Amino acid sequence: MTTTPANKTTLVMGASEEPTRFANRAQIQLQQHGIPVVLVSPKYKTINGVTVKQSLNEVSESIDTVTVYVRPEILESSLNAIIHLAPRRLIFNPGTESNELQKRLINSDIEVINDCTLVMLSENRY
């Protein structure tokens, strides 16, 4: 396990309590790497002992990275709120990519990465 400063806080968009879901695995792996997480999902109150924000409007923490586990159609409706949070980067996990949304994020000075958070963590590229 590596120690990561709090300024690496990662928002998990589409958090899930289901152990088979990649968002759940990402939450656990991020925490095991010492990375603080903020979970966003309208479906849950807590996941693995972490309080879940029902929407991005509830997020007050400084966010370094947003890792996406929702379809582009869902992300699009939240894009302005993400841009307002001004994360350093956003990771489109496989199946969540959108060229149109990527352009809007890049135009807002947010780095866009098309990759898998779990693979990035396992290869020390996070």
CATH of the domain at 110: 3.40.50.720
The answer to the question of residue 80 being in a domain is yes
Statement: residue 113 has pLDDT above 50: yes
For the chain, what is the domain count? 1
Q: What contacts 116, CB < 8 A, 6 or more positions away? A: 22, 93, 94
* pLDDT computed for residue 21 by the predictor: 98
pTM of the model: 0.93
CA torsion sign for 35, 117, 88, 77 is negative
Q: What contacts 61, CB < 8 A, 6 or more positions away? A: 9, 11, 36, 38
The answer to the question of residue 32 being in a domain is yes
Q: What is the DSSP letter of 110?
A: -
Statement: residue 23 has pLDDT above 90: yes
The answer to the question of residue 48 being in a domain is yes
The answer to the question of residue 72 being in a domain is yes
The answer to the question of residue 1 being in a domain is no
Statement: residue 8 has pLDDT above 60: yes
Statement: residue 6 has pLDDT above 70: no
Q: Which domain holds residue 26?
A: 6-122
